[in-house]
């Protein structure tokens, strides 16, 4: 098995709300999407082994910009704002679609999307909407079930099967992850490496 990528540097580059503000250095990008409070910031920090690179929060819906983090000077991790949380004001929710769709749908540098789901729950209607949108556009994407530490090991298979059925993909395309135990980190890094350097 190839060894996972070593993260030598990870730095915040820029925050954007429209394409003119994206980095213009043509490096490959991997985007991270998920429902507010799903554990996206924690997953990115765990993946990059940086405790506070991405701000984690107890208040859902903190990130409302597209945040670019330069990794090893080689590629960007792109943190997309979380979607679908009822407590996020309507005006903010209305911005999400156009902002994220124009990034995901119109970014030539984009190599793949990590769609983060909660291992404890079936994919939500918003999760399915984004997933199907990505598939329709043939954007490479991998679903990751995070907070797996909150599900007993004996139920991991059932959680993964339920999600794969609902997303319409084989069970082995889906990763289980925990930012607490770092389970799944190497597998996800391998996926990211494969996208940025095929
Ligand atoms: N047990 C456990 N808790 C987690 C895990 N990942 C995140 N959490 C907790 O879940 C809460 C939300 O995590 P965040 O990483 O801030 O979630 P987010 O998706 O970035 O949230 P937004 O900023 O609202 O989009 C925090 O209290 C985290 O400590 C995990 O893998 N296991």
User: In DSSP terms, which residues pair with 79 in a beta bridge?
Assistant: 32, 67
What pLDDT, on the 0 to 100 scale, is given for residue 89? 64
**Residue 63 CA, closest ligand 1 atom number:** 23
Residue 106 lies inside a defined structural domain of this protein: yes
Write out the residue range of the structural domain in which residue 79 sits: 10-196
Diameter over CA atoms, the chain: 48
Enumerate long-range contacts of 19-26, CB under 8 Å, 24 or more apart: 19/102, 19/103, 19/106, 19/107, 22/66, 22/68, 22/103, 22/107, 23/68, 23/70, 23/76, 26/109
What pLDDT, on the 0 to 100 scale, is given for residue 50? 86
* CATH number of the domain that residue 61 is part of: 3.40.50.300
pLDDT digits over 33-86, tens only? 999 889 999 999 999 998 778 876 555 555 588 999 999 999 999 999 888 766
62 lines ligand 1 (CB under 6 A): yes
Residue 46 lies inside a defined structural domain of this protein: yes
Distance from the alpha carbon of residue 198 to the mean position of ligand 1, in angstroms: 30
Sequence-ordered list of residues with C-beta below 8 angstroms from that of 104, at least 6 positions apart, any chain: 31, 33, 80, 110, 113, 133, 134, 137, 139
- Measured by CA distance, the residue closest to atom 24 of ligand 1 is 60
Coil, strand, or helix at residue 42? helix
Residue 2 lies inside a defined structural domain of this protein: no
β-pairing verdict for 66-71 and 175-176? unpaired
Residue 43 lies inside a defined structural domain of this protein: yes
184 lines ligand 1 (CB under 6 A): no
pLDDT digits over 121-179, tens only? 999 999 999 999 999 999 999 999 999 999 999 999 999 999 999 999 999 999 999 99
45 lines ligand 1 (CB under 6 A): no
65 lines ligand 1 (CB under 6 A): no
pTM: 0.93
Residue 4 lies inside a defined structural domain of this protein: no
Give the torsion sign (CA, 88, 133, 103, 144).
Answer: positive
User: Any idea of the CA torsion for 129, 70, 55, 188, to the nearest 10 degrees?
Assistant: 50
**Residue 44 CA, closest ligand 1 atom number:** 15
β-pairing verdict for 66-71 and 10-16? antiparallel
Residue 5 lies inside a defined structural domain of this protein: no
- Measured by CA distance, the residue closest to atom 3 of ligand 1 is 147
Number of domains in the chain: 1
User: Quick one: the chain helix, strand, coil %, rounded to 5?
Assistant: 35, 20, 40
60 lines ligand 1 (CB under 6 A): yes
58 lines ligand 1 (CB under 6 A): yes
Looking up tokens 């670019």 gives: 68
Residue 3 lies inside a defined structural domain of this protein: no
């Amino acid at each position: 098995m190839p060894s996972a990528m070593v993260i030598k540097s990870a730095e915040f580059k820029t925050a954007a709300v429209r394409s003119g503000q994206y980095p213009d250095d043509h490096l490959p990008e991997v985007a991270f999407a998920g429902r507010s409070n799903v554990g996206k910031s924690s997953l990115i920090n765990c993946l990059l082994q940086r405790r506070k690179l991405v701000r984690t929060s107890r208040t859902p819906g903190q990130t409302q910009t597209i945040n670019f983090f330069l990794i090893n000077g080689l590629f960007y991790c792109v943190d997309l704002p979380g979607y679908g949380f009822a407590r996020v004001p309507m005006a903010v929710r209305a911005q999400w679609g156009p902002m994220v769709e124009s990034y995901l749908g119109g970014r030539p540098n984009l190599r793949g999307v990590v769609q983060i789901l909660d291992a404890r729950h079936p994919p939500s209607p918003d999760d399915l909407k984004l997933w199907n949108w990505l598939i329709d556009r043939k954007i490479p994407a991998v679903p990751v079930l995070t907070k797996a530490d909150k599900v007993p090991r004996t139920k991991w298979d059932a959680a993964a099967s339920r999600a794969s059925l609902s997303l319409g993909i084989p069970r082995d395309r889906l990763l289980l992850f925990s930012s607490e135990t770092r389970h799944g980190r190497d597998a996800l890094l391998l996926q990211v490496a494969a996208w940025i350097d095929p």
